[in-house]
């Protein structure tokens, strides 16, 4: 049975830092397009933007990373508790630009779970997707690293990794939710991903670096 896309998560990375500037502009457009289309659109923002974005917008705001440590003597760490208090509803873990050891990944997921926050574990192939699914995160997000930021969509360049990852995740956890990413840039890319069984997409540069992010966002939801 084909699943209907429920979630588009935009990773702002470090392109859109600065309250009231690019992050705020993209959040404004994301909320407007979400309301128009009925498709849930969230942002994964840098830590400094979590509180202002979550205060001003109704769309879900995610952190880009948390450390699996409790509040305490951990200089330079970002705790799940701090992320929750800043207004985030969850966090990415193990993005290709912020890879974690298995121990650190498990600790981060445990910290998010204890704070009742959503988790998006990023993976790079079907084997790691299956391993991630065994940890029971909210989402497994498969992104072939060679296509991230390339402008070449995983939906077109490597659809097999999507189908294999979806199958691998649901063999381990039949209720597991899967996002796919890397090069997602159009409504056609999103539709292909959904038709292949995913629950949504994770993307960054096609929106964050666009001259008209609103137009890109409307295109992303146009075929759903």
pLDDT value of residue 140: 97
- The reply to whether 210 falls in a domain is yes
- The reply to whether 208 falls in a domain is yes
pLDDT value of residue 148: 65
Nearest-CA neighbor of 5 among 165, 208, 187? 187
Tell me the pLDDT tens digit for each residue of 10-38. Answer: 999 988 655 458 899 999 999 999 999 99
Q: Taking each helix axis from N to C terminus, what angle separates 47-56 and 22-37, rounded to the nearest 10 degrees?
A: 40
pLDDT score of 217 more than 60: yes
pLDDT score of 168 more than 90: yes
pLDDT value of residue 47: 93
* CATH value at residue 90: 3.20.20.70
Q: Where are the beta strands (DSSP E) in the chain?
A: 7-11, 40-45, 61-63, 90-93, 118-123, 139-142, 177-181, 200-203
- The reply to whether 2 falls in a domain is no
CB 46 within 8 A of CB 26: no
pLDDT value of residue 75: 96
What pTM does this model have? 0.92
CB 100 within 8 A of CB 71: no
CB 116 within 8 A of CB 109: no
- The reply to whether 1 falls in a domain is no
Number of structural domains found in the chain: 1
- The reply to whether 105 falls in a domain is yes
- The reply to whether 175 falls in a domain is yes
- How confident is the model over 140-167, as a mean pLDDT? 78
Phi, psi of 200 (to 5 degrees): 160, -170
- The reply to whether 118 falls in a domain is yes
The domain in which residue 163 lies consists of 7-220
Residues counted in the chain: 224
71 vs 74: CA distance, rounded Å: 7
CB 198 within 8 A of CB 162: yes
- The reply to whether 131 falls in a domain is yes
pLDDT value of residue 21: 82
Query: Which residues are the active-site residues?
Result: 95, 143
Tell me the pLDDT tens digit for each residue of 174-195. Answer: 999 999 987 788 899 899 899 9
pLDDT value of residue 33: 96
Q: Tell me the pLDDT of the chain averaged across its residues.
A: 90
186 SS3 class:
coil
Label residue 183 left, alpha or beta by phi (over 0 means left) and psi (-120 to 50 means alpha).
Answer: left
pLDDT value of residue 19: 47
- How confident is the model over 195-223, as a mean pLDDT? 93
């Amino acid at each position: 049975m084909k699943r209907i896309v429920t979630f588009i998560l935009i990773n702002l990375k470090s392109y859109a830092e600065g309250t009231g500037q690019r992050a705020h502009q993209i959040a404004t457009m994301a909320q407007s397009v979400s309301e128009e289309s009925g498709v849930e659109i969230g942002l994964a923002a840098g830590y400094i933007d979590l509180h202002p974005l979550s205060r001003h917008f109704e769309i879900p705001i995610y952190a880009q990373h948390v450390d699996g440590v409790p509040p305490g003597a951990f200089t330079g760490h970002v705790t799940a508790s701090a992320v929750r208090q800043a207004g985030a509803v969850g966090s990415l873990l193990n993005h290709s630009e912020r890879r974690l050891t298995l121990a650190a990944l498990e600790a981060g997921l445990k910290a998010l779970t204890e704070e009742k926050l959503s988790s998006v574990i990023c993976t790079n192939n079907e084997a790691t997707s299956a391993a991630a699914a065994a940890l029971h995160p909210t989402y497994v997000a498969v992104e072939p690293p060679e296509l991230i930021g390339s402008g070449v969509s995983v939906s077109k360049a490597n659809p097999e990794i999507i189908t294999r990852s979806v199958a691998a995740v649901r063999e381990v956890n039949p209720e597991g939710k899967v996002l796919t990413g890397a090069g997602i840039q159009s409504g056609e890319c999103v539709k292909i991903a959904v038709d292949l069984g995913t629950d949504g997409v994770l993307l960054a540069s096609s929106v964050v670096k666009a001259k008209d992010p609103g137009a890109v966002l409307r295109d992303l939801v146009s075929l759903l």
